[in-house]
Amino acid sequence: MEVAYLTTYDSRDLSQWSGSGYFIGRAIRRQFNNFTVMGPLQRPLGLIGRARETFYPVLLHKDWAWEREVSVARDYARQAEQKLRRSQADFVFSPGSVPIAFLQTDKPIFFWTDAVFAGMLDYYPEYCNLHPRIIEAGNIVERDALSRCRLVFFASEWAAESAIANYAVPAAKVRVVPFGANIGRGISYEEALTVIAARSRTVCKLLFVGVDWLRKGGDIVLRVAEELTAQGLEVELHIVGCRPGGAANLPAYVINHGFINKADKNGTRELAGLFAEAHFLLVPSRQECYGLVFCEAAASALPAIAAKTGGIPTIIKDGVNGITFAPEAEAADYCAFIAEYFGDWRRYKALALSSYNEYCRRLNWQTAGAAVKESILDCMAAEG
């Protein structure tokens, strides 16, 4: 079967959407015989919308998101239709709603993403002050895209429930398939054992990875490291992706690595080393549609600690590959878990191995792609 993989951006660009467009495409390509990339599409001028993005916050104290405009989605649909007319594809597959909204085609459409527009409203900071007109437009685009799909795949129960509740998507056409870890090759079981055994027994190494310090809970991470140190535990906190906000003079136990480019081979090696040496990934995000970094942690036999919000509970199963705390949890709650497991190497090793097993069992792209393929083939067979 031939797949038309439709994105507005260049799906081969790992800097787009944290590389998810690339890895989703690769997962689908490996499951089907023929795969045609239909992107990037040409960005509509959207001059009025871009002007609104500039001036609405100043004049109306409201934000605008031009890429959610109906006219923008219709422009993308026209471009996609032209490409599809020259294609022999059996179906269309997209990781985004915008290019498939208003798409006129007789080919079945399938969609796989981590959130719907309504789910992000009043949740993510940039979606908390949108102008009512762009909210209306965004909902129109999302609803139309979902209605055109034969099946819709979501990375988490949170996203699936949001689609059903806000857009009346029939539960029968919804599937939850977690995304995999955005890495080239996972380590073997023997390598996992070696990585765990090499971790320090005296210095507890915490790893924070994120480009948005406040949204990812960086301030909480600093408090956790401070309290653990005050309790007498020797700690190293490694920060990747951003500069700690409001922290001019960081303690000596905090090592800031700055932004590390995963698309660069040297960056990949550096990140792999940090994941291998750390005892816990600690990213207590306040808002998170999914959290690919938690999948990447599991691939490195690294237990993950986070807040119970958005799509995170789909990835982290408490006591299996880490733990999630209530969003209002105190630093002391995180400290108690870390100290308990770091102080009992047998339990820690079991948790680290269990984390790796979760990657092998369900948090990898091979497993995810196979699950999506099975559902697509069943759907198309049922419809003849």
Asked if residue 248 has pLDDT above 80, the reply is no
The CATH code of domain 189-361 reads 3.40.50.2000
Alpha carbon 51 to its chain's center: 30
Q: How many helices (H) and strands (E) does the chain have?
A: 14, 12
Mean pLDDT, to the nearest integer, of 350-361? Answer: 98
Residues whose CB is less than 8 angstroms from the CB of residue 188 and which lie 6 or more positions away in sequence, other chains included: none
Residue 15 clears pLDDT 90, i.e. is over it: no
Measure the CA–CA gap between 284 and 214, rounded to whole angstroms: 10
How far, in Å, are 112, 114, 179, 354 from residue 109 at the CA level?
Answer: 10, 17, 19, 36
**Domain 2-180+364-382 class in CATH:** alpha beta
pLDDT band, very low/low/confident/very high, at 184 (cuts 50, 70, 90): confident
What residue segments make up the domains of the chain, in order of their start?
A: 2-180+364-382, 189-361
Residues above pLDDT 90, as percent of the chain: 91
Residue 363, pLDDT > 80, answer yes
Residue 26, pLDDT > 80, answer yes
* pLDDT tens-digit series, residues 306-322: 999 999 999 999 999 99
Distance from C-alpha of 159 to C-alpha of 313, rounded to nearest angstrom: 11
Confidence tier at 247 by pLDDT (50, 70, 90): low
Report the range of poorest mean pLDDT among 3-12, 164-173, 243-252, 268-277.
243-252
Question: For residue range 369-381, what is the model confidence (pLDDT) as tens digits?
Answer: 999 999 999 999 9
**Range 212-238 average pLDDT:** 97
Instruction: Give residue 185's pLDDT.
Output: 82
Residue 171 has pLDDT above 70, yes or no: yes
pLDDT at 246: 61
Burial 284-303 (b: 16+ CB within 10 A, else e): bbbbbbbbbbbbbbbbbbbb
Chain mean pLDDT for the chain: 96
* pLDDT score of 263 more than 90: no
Show the DSSP H helices in 305-344 as ranges: 312-315, 331-342
Statement: residue 242 has pLDDT above 70: yes
- How does pLDDT run across 109-125, given as a tens digit for each residue? 999 999 999 999 999 99
Tens of pLDDT, residues 66-113? 999 999 999 999 999 999 999 999 999 999 999 999 999 999 999 999
Would you state the pLDDT for residue 307?
98
pTM of the model: 0.95
Let me know if the fold of 2-180+364-382 is the same as that of 189-361.
yes
pLDDT at residue 357, as a whole number: 98
- Rounded Cα distance between 7 and 39, Å, is 5
